[in-house]
Each structure stands twice: as C-alpha cells, then as structure tokens.
Amino acid sequence: MATTADFKNGLVLKIDNKLQQIVEFQHVKPGKGPAFVRTKLKDVVSGKVVDKTFNAGVKVETATVDRRDMTYLYHDGESFVLMDEKTFDQIEIGNHLMGNGANFLLENTTVQVSFHENEPLFVELPVTVELKVEHTDPGLQGDRSTGGTKPATLETGAEVQVPLFIETGNVLKIDTRDGSYVSRVNN
C-alpha cells in the first residue's frame, strides 16, 4: 500500500483489479477545500490513458513490478525472443507488447521489460537508436534550400522521413517512440 505522498511517475497501482501506471501526477492545494492529487494513469494491458483524482493521503494498493534488462535476440514472425542479461533465460514477447518501436530494433539491443508475477507487462525500448541508411534517393540540388524531406530505408527495414542532405550509408539517430529522424551521427 502507498499513499498519495508516495506517488511518482512509473509507479504501478492496482485499481479495480487492473494494473495502471502513473504517467503524470500533480498535487493540488486549492485555497478552499481539501488537497487532492490529479493523475494520468495508463492501463498497463490496453495502453488506454485515463485521468483520475485522489484525495490527499488516500491509501492505494501498489503492484510489485520487476524491471529487468534484457537483450533482443531475434524476431520469429509472431514474437520477439529476449534474453535476461543476468540469468541468460530466454523468453518470448508478443508483438503487441513491443509496439511500433520494434521496427527500429537491431539484434543485441538492450531493452527493459517489466514483469508482474512473472508475466511480462510492457517493454521499454531505448529512446533513441543509431541505424544505418540502407537506401535513399539522392536529394536534388535545387531542393536543398526548401528544408523538405525524403524517404529513407534503414538497416532494420523501417522507412523514415529524413532531410534531403542524408545519403545512403549515413548513420542516423532515430526516436523509437514515434519513428522520427533526430540527427545524423558523425562517423
């Protein structure tokens, strides 16, 4: 059990037999009336985000979540195979738990998997990854000043929009949360 004073981002609560992770919270002390805590909770299973308000000092049941660093080994089409970095045990994670960020994962990338009662809940990918451009069309000379973009295929097979100056063979930093180009990495 935890009180509202123990709230922090990432804490997983058990509310109505559902696991919900605190995404955001704010303690509010109005001029009139009792203090309360306004939160944004993300359902760990469905990913749905809801707003919920708690009275200050209320006790809430917390869920024990074990976070483990795991190495991504390979994808067999239906699931991702990961290896625990401490015990070397291998587990399979369904495609739905990995999300769209998995399009930017190379083999041997470290990810963090959260477990509750030995069941994987969700996977946290690195925020950015560095990937090589396998193919992109050359930018046209007159287009360089427009600040436009063009598609580029990365070594994982994912396609992203990149600035016109990017060439095949460049290494790029990509944001795994939305698949956007961040910067070019100097080699």
How many Å apart are CA 21 and CA 77, to the nearest integer? 29
Q: Per residue in 68-87, pLDDT tens?
A: 899 999 988 888 899 998 88
How many Å apart are CA 121 and CA 43, to the nearest integer? 10
User: pTM for the whole thing?
Assistant: 0.70
> Exposed/middle/buried for 181, CB within 10 Å: 0-12, 13-18, 19+?
middle
Evaluate if residue 67 carries a pLDDT over 90: no
Mean pLDDT across the stretch 82-106? 86
Q: Which helix (H) or strand (E) holds 11?
A: none
Contact assessment for residue 128 and residue 182, using Cβ atoms and an 8 Å cutoff: yes
Average pLDDT score over the chain:
86
| pLDDT reported for residue 147 | 66
DSSP state of 166: -
DSSP state of 103: G
| pLDDT reported for residue 11 | 86
Evaluate if residue 9 carries a pLDDT over 90: no
Evaluate if residue 145 carries a pLDDT over 70: no
| pLDDT reported for residue 39 | 92
Residue that wins the pLDDT comparison between 45 and 87: 87
* Band of residue 173 on the pLDDT scale cut at 50, 70, 90: very high
